[in-house]
Structure 1
Amino acid sequence: MSLNEGVLLAGMELSKLTSSWGIYKGDVEKSDGEIVSVYLKPKLPPRFAFREFFVVFLSEFFNVSTPDPYLVYIPKDYVSGGRGEQFSERYCFAMEIKQYPDMSRNFSGEFFKSERIAEEFLRKNDVALMGIFDEVLFNQDRHHENILYDGENICLIDHENILSNKHVDKELGDNNWMWSIARNASELSFKRIERKVFELLKSQGYETFPSLAYGLLWSDLVTIYEKLEVGSKRGLKIDALTYCYRSRDILSLASRTCDSQKFNQIGFPL
Structure 2
Amino acid sequence: MTLNEGVLLAGMELSKLPSTWGIYKGDVEKSNGEIVSVYLKPALPPRLAFREFFAAFFAKLIDISTPDPYLVFIPEDYGLVIGKRNVSGSYCFAMEIKQYPDMSRNFSGEFFNNRAFSESFLRRGDVALMGIFDEILYNQDRHHENVLFDGENIFLIDHEYILDGDCGNSELGAKNWMWSIAKNASELSFKRVEKKVFELLRIKGYEKMPNVAYHNLWKQLLEVHNKLGVNKRNALKLDALIYCRRSRNVLSLTRRTHDSHKLNQLGFPV
Q: If the length of structure 2 is used for normalisation, what is the TM-score?
A: 0.89
Where does residue 94 of structure 1 map in the other structure?
A: 94
- 2:137 is matched with which residue? 137
SS at match of 2:70: strand
Greater alpha carbon shift after TM alignment, 214-223 vs 125-134: 214-223
Contact 2:139 2:162 in 1 (8 A): yes
Paired residues of 1:67 and 1:155 also in contact (CA < 8 A): yes
**Does the Cα contact within 8 Å between 2:39 and 2:97 map onto a contact in 1?**
yes
What is the CA deviation profile of residues 16-64 of structure 1, one whole-angstrom value per residue up to 9, with x for unaligned ones? Answer: 1111111111010111111111000101111111111111111122211
- Supply the distance in 1 between the matched residues of 2:267 and 2:245 (Cα, whole angstroms): 17
Q: How far 1:264 moved relative to its partner?
A: 4.7
Deviation at 1:222, TM superposition (A): 1.1
SS in 1 for 2:192: helix
What is the CA-CA distance between 1:117 and the residue it aligns to? 2.7
What is the rounded CA distance, in whole Å, between the counterparts of 1:218 and 1:255 in structure 2?
A: 30
Kept after mapping to 2: 8 A contact 1:7/1:74: yes
**How many residues are treated as equivalent by the alignment?**
266
**C-alpha separation between the residues in 1 aligned to 2:101 and 2:53?**
22
Shift in alpha-carbon separation, 1:35–1:187, aligned structure 2, 3 A: same
Local SS of the residue matching 2:6: strand
Partners of 2:165 and 2:215 lie apart in 1 by 19
Structure 1 equivalent of residue 242 of structure 2: 242
- Which one-letter code corresponds to 1:202 in the other structure? R
User: Secondary structure of the residue that 2:140 maps to in structure 1?
Assistant: coil
SS of match in other structure, 1:160: coil
Q: CA RMSD in A?
A: 2.5
The corresponding residue for 2:125 is: 125
2-structure distance, mates of 1:12, 1:48: 21
The within-5 A match list for 1:202-217 is 202-216=202-216
Give 1:21-36 correspondences, 5 Å limit.
Answer: 21-36=21-36
Map of 2:256 onto structure 1: 255
2:75 corresponds to:
75
Q: 1:169 to 1:88 in 2, by over 3 A?
A: farther
Residues 110/175 of structure 1: CA separation in 2 closer, same or farther (3 Å cut) = farther
Q: Deviations over 1:82-138 (max 9, x none)?
A: x9x96321000100001211111x537225533333212112221100000001111
- Within a 5 Å distance, the mapping from 1:1-270 to structure 2 comes to 1-79=1-79, 87-104=87-104, 106-107=105-106, 109-111=108-110, 113-114=112-113, 115-171=115-171, 173-216=173-216, 218-250=218-250, 252-257=253-258, 264-265=265-266
Name the TM-score, length of structure 1 as normaliser.
Answer: 0.89
**Counterparts of 2:4 and 2:193, CA distance in 1:** 35
What code does the residue aligned with 1:122 have? L
Instruction: Give the gaps of 5 or more residues in structure 2.
Output: none
Identical aligned residues as a percent: 61
Q: 1:59 to 1:49 in 2, by over 3 A?
A: same
One-letter amino acid of the counterpart of residue 229, structure 2:
E
What letter is aligned with 2:30?
Answer: K
1:103/1:15 CA distance change after superposition, 3 Å: same
> Which structure 1 segments of 5+ residues have no match?
none
Moved more, 114-123 or 63-72: 114-123
Given the superposition, is the C-alpha separation of residues 202 and 223 from structure 1 closer, same or farther in structure 2, using an over 3 Å criterion?
A: same
Closer, same or farther: CA 261–146 of 1 in aligned 2, 3 Å: closer
Matched letter for residue 266 of structure 2: Q
- Judge conservation of contact 1:214–1:240 (CA < 8 Å) in 2: no
**Range with bigger deviation, 85-94 or 249-258:** 249-258
Deviations 1:145-191 (A, max 9, x none): 00000010000000010112533434573431111111122111111
Mapped partners of 1:11, 1:145: distance in 2: 27
How many Å separate the matches in 2 of 1:12 and 1:172? 42
